[in-house]
Amino acid sequence: MINTTSQIITPEQAGTLAGLLRERIKRTPQNVAYRYYINHENRWVRLTWHEMGRRVIKWQIALRSEGLQSGDRVAIMLRNSVQWVAFEQAALGLGLVVVPLYVNDRPDNILYILQDTDSKVLLLEGREQWHQFSSVIDQAKSLQRVVSLNPIINEEMHPLVRAKEAWLPSDVMTSGEELEIIDADPDTLATIVYTSGTSGRPKGVMLSHHNILWNAHAGLNVVAINQDDLFLSFLPLSHMFERTVGYYLPMMAGAIVAYSRSITLLAEDLEIIKPTALISVPRIFERIQGKVLAQLEQRPPLAQKLFRTAMKVGWGYFNYQQGRTEWQPMFLLWPLLKKLVADKVMNKLGGRIRFTVCGGAPLSDGVSRMFIGLGLPMIQGYGLTETSPVISCNKIEKNDPLSVGSLLKDVEAKITESGELIIRSPGVMHGYWNNQQGTDDVIKNGWFHTGDKAEIRKGMLYITGRLKDIIVLSNGEKVPPSDMELAVIQDPLFEQVMVIGEGRPYLAVLLVLEPQQWKAFARQHNAAHDDPASLRLATVEKALTKRVAAMLKDFPGYAQVRRISAQLEQWSIENEMQTPTLKLKRNKILEHQANDVARIYEGH
């Protein structure tokens, strides 16, 4: 049910994303909006909505000083922070279009996006990002200002660069200023978010103010949020999942957002912040599961048995609560097992989580069974950047972990003859920036084609596969392997190539080497070409990985290969690894080379 408190802001009341902040400040000015950590003071601090508004004013004055016009694009390459929000809100209030960038992306990919959007201002983190970007800055012809959040060395050596302190006005200068919100149509373009393309280059998804406001508000029909809720934000705000569900939705409900210091400190931050809500991807829980199970192996057999019993009973009790199973006597043990086992694990997550939404990639059965079995209210959702992003989500009271839940309010869905899920909703993008052909390929007669195969059963959506071979990494990034494979196979050393990584933390490649090329390659690296063990030598694998990387240099940063496994045996029709039309049978190959795949991802 939707949270009925009067403090929920509707899309109509907000008008635009900037109007959402203005309305929030008006309603609850002295409520805490954000919590964040100040490194040099070694402490966590709180920021109210009123104080956030004053910060946005400073960024607006600075942006106005650049002579920008409504509709101009500005880019942001920061880690999650109140500065990220302040810059974006300032830009949106002036009618500018925000282009988010990943902080660890490659310079050439950043340059491509800046050039494609004609971005005029870039806000970056500091020395590390400047060091990466400085080599290509002069090629970004439209760029007129680069602002560094943190000091960088020799910034005065480039005329475009300003430190934040020098660029922003002083508090005295902003004392009489008011927050500026231009009167914009809700269907006006708000942001261009770049996502994986099928040609090696990302595509710019155009989303309006209304696209995102509708999606955030529809999310409030899934779980009731109130002003006592506290989100811990750690997924990148450059990803629409975190941006809509972990930023705009809490603002719409008046909840608090705390910004984690880093993924490496996430475990510590969870115990300090004690959030009530988490927006996550499966990879985070895979890591936690790995640590828990590794620690369990060091415990006595009785402790291991108690843990597994708690999971089994908890999972059964969850299904009983969902109405899928009958009551069983073992459920009488749950209060004791919860106290002895489950609560201890949940306390590592802060001990107060009311729900966690997991999306961006499929959630494995093992992960959901463990955490739900230990009492974590985990719900899985589904969506795409092109849909702002959420299409469907489970509810706490109606939760099938094998499903991605029921459709959000106002989402229409159909399954085509080929089994593809197509949808219509107020969240569907306006198209791809500078790419009409790409837009026409996915939006046909008003229906957005997801590329995913799906089934709808009893009002619940089940994703069963993909029409196109798109790999979804465990961090939610989507990568088209066929284009990568075509690029890698241009090297004559590689006879056959298959990129893998579905649900994994990184990409890897299974390779079949051309025999004569391999002989020459082996000689160069002092390896015996007629000894199969040579293919497993660390020096050989490192050199092969480098060759693969060279062929993928034009692909986005997240579409890079970290490990390989090479062989000389061909995948053929005869050994059932190819179809009659010579297409690779991906599942068959993965099954046949399960040991190689396990070795590649060992320890992850």
Residues of the chain within CATH 3.40.50.12780 domain(s) are 16-263
CA distance 337 to 320: 17
- Contact present, 424 and 452 (Cβ < 8 Å): no
> Could you say which of 3.40.50.300, 3.30.300.30, 3.50.50.60, 2.60.120.10 is the CATH number of the domain covering 480-600?
3.30.300.30
**According to the model, what pLDDT value does residue 85 have?**
98
Residues of the chain within CATH 3.30.300.30 domain(s) are 480-600
- Contact present, 482 and 515 (Cβ < 8 Å): no
Per-residue model confidence as pLDDT tens digits over 258-309? 999 998 899 999 999 999 999 998 878 887 887 888 788 889 999 999 999 9
Which parts of the chain have pLDDT scores under 70? 1-6, 153-157, 172-174, 196-200, 579-583, 603-604
**According to the model, what pLDDT value does residue 604 have?**
58
- Contact present, 76 and 98 (Cβ < 8 Å): yes
**According to the model, what pLDDT value does residue 115 have?**
97
**According to the model, what pLDDT value does residue 584 have?**
81
Task: Tell me the DSSP string of 82-116.
Answer: HHHHHHHHHHHHTT-EEEE--TT--HHHHHHHHHH
Helical segments of 94-238, H only: 107-117, 127-133, 164-167, 209-219
The answer to whether the peptide bond before residue 389 is cis (omega within 30 degrees of 0) is yes
Q: What is the pTM of this model?
A: 0.82
Superfamily grouping for domain 16-263: ANL, N-terminal domain (3.40.50.12780)
